[in-house]
């Protein structure tokens, strides 16, 4: 028995070491960096205590970015869960070609983000592109829309592009939850004369709700971290209208070279996200215990 414990540790250790070296240790260093005043990577800094935190929390840049991050996360959660739910309900039906559809729905998720960016930059572009000419042809607008021209349209467009990329992945996770619901339940309800909507409302929805909550939590984490789509499409603009926390961190570190401030913002962002994760998993645990 003693030997098998040692073996178990030996099997887990390599993975844990990699995670500790590439995530754990850098996190400790980020905290250290946030308590110092460092400008150039690798140069020694002076200890300044919580000065950076006072400075960051006292300024408006952090709060603006935090606000935009919340808008970003909520909008993405709503749009991508809605799209994913409908897609999953369809893929759970039986029809010719359903297996092909189940496989290839994920297409948008497996191509590099930069390709997603090129696709949508082109489609939404005001010169050439596809969307503007189509909108004009159909008479909906009379001149090209600058999708990335104002803060709000830019944010909305970004949310659309990001959700477009992520909803297939979420859809497959929901599908996993759907296939767990026994067919007999639906069959019995059908025999009792329940229509499709009633069956969805009374059987599918209550049984699916826990899965949706878990996915909403995972989706929140994933979309909070999204940087590349925003950076490559708008660079946080226009007028800072899409400068979420990851964009602000990147800009502070690699455009303004204020490393300690960037580390401070990133520690604050981590605390925010971890607090959310802990509260969410607690709530889920309690939910699970009651059931």
Of 84-103, binders to another protein (CB under 8 A) are: 86-87, 90, 93-95, 99, 101-103
232 binding another protein? (CB under 8 A): yes
In the list 61, 203, 213, 273, the residue contacting another protein (rule: CB under 8 A) is: 273
- The residues, any chain, with a CB within 8 Å of residue 208's CB and separated by 6 or more, are 174, 177, 178, 181
Which window, 53-61, 116-124, 145-153, 283-291, contacts another protein (CB under 8 A)? Answer: 116-124
Q: How far apart are CA 80 and CA 105, in angstroms?
A: 14
Residue 74 or 278 having the CB closest to another protein: 278
**Interaction of residue 221 with another protein, rule CB under 8 A:** yes
Cα separations in angstroms, 107 against 62, 118, 168, 170: 35, 15, 8, 13
Instruction: Compute the distance between CA of residue 167 and CA of residue 83 in angstroms, rounded to an integer.
Output: 6
The position carrying tokens 């709060």 is: 63
With CB under 8 A as the contact rule, the residue among 157, 158, 249, 251 that binds another protein is: 249
Decide whether 75 or 230 has the Cβ nearer to another protein: 230
Tell which residue, 84, 118, 83, 69, has the closest CA to residue 227: 69
Distances (CA, A) of 225 to 129, 246, 288: 29, 7, 27
Please say whether the beta carbons of 204 and 230 come within 8 A.
Answer: no
Least distance to another protein from the beta carbon of 239, Å?
Answer: 21
Q: Dig out the tokens for 166 from the structure.
A: 């992520």
Residue 226: CB minimum distance to another protein, A:
10
Q: Would you state the structure tokens that stand for residue 68, as one six-digit string?
A: 């935009």
Residue of 56, 68, 77, 267 interacting with another protein (CB under 8 A): 267
Q: Give the footprint of another protein on residues 178-217 (CB under 8 A).
A: 179-180, 196
**Residue 222 CA to its chain's centroid (Å):** 3
Task: Work out whether 68 is an interface residue with another protein (CB under 8 A).
Answer: no
Residues 44-63 that bind another protein (CB under 8 A): none
Q: Given the rule CB under 8 A, which of 49-57, 73-81, 150-158, 267-275 is the region that contacts another protein?
A: 267-275
CA atoms of 48 and 77, how far apart (whole Å): 39
Site for another protein in 122-181 (CB under 8 A): 122-123, 127-130, 133-134, 137, 164, 168, 172-173, 175-177, 179-180
Among 111, 141, 149, 275, interactor with another protein by CB under 8 A: 111
Q: Using CA atoms, how far apart are residues 133 and 131, in angstroms rounded to an integer?
A: 6
**What is d(CA 201, CA 241) in angstroms, rounded to the nearest whole number?**
39
**Cα(142)–Cα(164) distance, rounded to whole angstroms?**
26
Give the footprint of another protein on residues 25-44 (CB under 8 A). Answer: 25-27, 29-30, 33, 41-42
State the nearest-atom distance from the C-beta of 25 to another protein, in Å.
Answer: 7
């Amino acid at each position: 028995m003693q030997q098998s414990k040692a073996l178990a540790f030996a099997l887990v250790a390599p993975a844990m070491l990699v995670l500790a070296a590439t995530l754990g240790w850098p996190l400790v260093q980020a905290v250290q960096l946030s308590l110092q005043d460092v400008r150039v990577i690798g140069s020694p800094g002076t200890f300044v205590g919580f000065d950076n935190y006072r400075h960051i929390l006292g300024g408006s840049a952090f709060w603006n970015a935090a606000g935009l991050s919340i808008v970003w996360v909520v909008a993405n959660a709503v749009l991508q869960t809605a799209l994913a739910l409908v897609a999953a309900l369809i893929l759970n039906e039986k029809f010719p070609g359903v297996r092909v559809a189940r496989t290839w729905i994920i297409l948008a998720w497996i191509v590099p983000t930069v390709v997603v960016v090129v696709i949508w930059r082109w489609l939404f572009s005001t010169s050439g592109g596809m969307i503007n000419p189509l909108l004009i042809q159909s008479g909906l607008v009379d001149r090209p829309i600058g999708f990335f021209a104002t803060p709000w349209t830019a944010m909305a467009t970004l949310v659309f592009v990001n959700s477009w990329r992520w909803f297939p992945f979420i859809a497959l996770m929901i599908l996993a939850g759907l296939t767990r619901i026994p067919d007999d339940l639906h069959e019995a309800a059908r025999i009792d004369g329940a229509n499709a909507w009633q069956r969805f409302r009374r059987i599918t929805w209550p049984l699916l709700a826990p899965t949706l909550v878990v996915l909403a939590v995972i989706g929140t984490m994933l979309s909070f971290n999204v940087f590349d789509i925003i950076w490559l499409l708008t660079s946080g603009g226009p007028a800072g209208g899409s400068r979420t926390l990851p964009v602000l961190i990147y800009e502070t570190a690699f455009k303004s070279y204020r490393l300690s401030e960037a580390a401070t913002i990133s520690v604050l962002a981590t605390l925010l996200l971890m607090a959310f994760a802990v509260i969410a998993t607690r709530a889920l645990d309690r939910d699970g215990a009651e059931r």
